[in-house]
Amino acid sequence: MDKCSRCKTEEKPLFRLKNLNMLVCSQCFASYYEKKVKNTVLKYGMLNGVRRLALAVSGGKDSMALARALLEVFPSIKFTIIHLNLGIPNYSDECQEIVEKFCKEYSIELLLYDLKKYNGYSIYDFGNIKSKKRVCGVCGTVKRYLMNKIAYENGFDTIATGHNLDDIVEILFNLYINGSIEELVRIKPVSSSTHSKIVRKIKPLIEMTDREDLYYAISRNLNYVSSECPLVKGSRMINRKKLILKIEEEIPNFKYLLLKTHLKRFLPMLEEYVLPPTLRECEDCGMPSINTVCSFCKLSSKILKLVENN
């Protein structure tokens, strides 16, 4: 009775291909997912000219799915995994362990970075002291800066991240309603390097939904950190993602529509209109910055003061 709509085997169909409205087995879902990732990578020329590729892997379902899918789809491409231990109790150590196991299993080079050890504070320190509403934003700044710095200092020319459609649409939605055109112009599948110390970034999962990443992780039996980050609960980011799902109930395919509209209709205009910022080197760390001191160094000294005074 319950056959996979694709391969017609008797294997229990567990996954719904939403756009095709088909129930498929885990093997067929994995193939569908990998094909879609491959198409995205090729469509945007993500791996064109890449010499040394790094993957930013947190241990969550998205980045684990990214690593696994790339191994499957482009078996000849070598990459290194960079993992940041953010020092969040009952969470970060589990993340690191999962990533370490994966790298061992597939013989992938791993670069580990311990935030508390090298920078003197953890994301938890901030989240615990300041409003939890802002912690995701702070964590984003820290991760973006460190990923780029580590990749740059280790000679990588491209970083792949696991940002998926839900992540990008949550960001786009906020930037559009606030008219943040200087930031909108930077939201794209491939961000070229604009400075010798800024590493090119690619987002191979930009067209995959949260749910598709999850289904893929399950269908490939991946190990990933199953608990949510304990700091994310009640964050604006989570509420916005929920809101976007509500909008999608009313406007089918809203997420993909917003991405497509951004890339095809607004981005060409934004790229013509918004002048690229003049970058200098941060007085503290030497990395590229718009201001005298970069946002990471400003944030770090603020958090360090908070930690000392607490």
Binding interface with a second copy (CB under 8 A)? 176-181, 239-240, 243, 246-247, 250-251, 254, 257-258, 260-262, 264-266, 269-270, 272-273
Q: How far is CA 260 from the centre of its chain?
A: 19
Phi, psi of 303 (to 5 degrees): -65, -40
Give the chain's length.
310
Q: Nearest distance from residue 195's CB to a second copy, in Å?
A: 25
Pick the closer one to a second copy by CB: 222 or 267.
267
Q: Nearest distance from residue 210's CB to a second copy, in Å?
A: 18
Task: Judge whether 17 and 45 are in contact, CB under 8 Å.
Answer: no
Closest CA to 206 of 172, 162, 258: 162
Pick the closer one to a second copy by CB: 6 or 262.
262
Pick the closer one to a second copy by CB: 42 or 251.
251
Q: Find the radius of gyration of the CA atoms of the chain.
A: 20
Encode 189-200: b = buried (16+ Cβ within 10 Å), e = exposed.
bbeeeeeebbbb
Q: Nearest distance from residue 255's CB to a second copy, in Å?
A: 10
Cite the beta strand spans of the chain per DSSP E.
15-17, 22-24, 53-56, 79-85, 109-114, 158-160, 190-191, 200-202, 280-281, 288-289
Q: Nearest distance from residue 270's CB to a second copy, in Å?
A: 8
Q: Nearest distance from residue 161's CB to a second copy, in Å?
A: 25
Pick the closer one to a second copy by CB: 86 or 185.
185
Pick the closer one to a second copy by CB: 1 or 275.
275
- Dist. CA 175–CA 181, nearest whole Å: 7
Pick the closer one to a second copy by CB: 258 or 282.
258
Q: Nearest distance from residue 71's CB to a second copy, in Å?
A: 36
- The pairing of strands 280-281 and 79-85 is unpaired
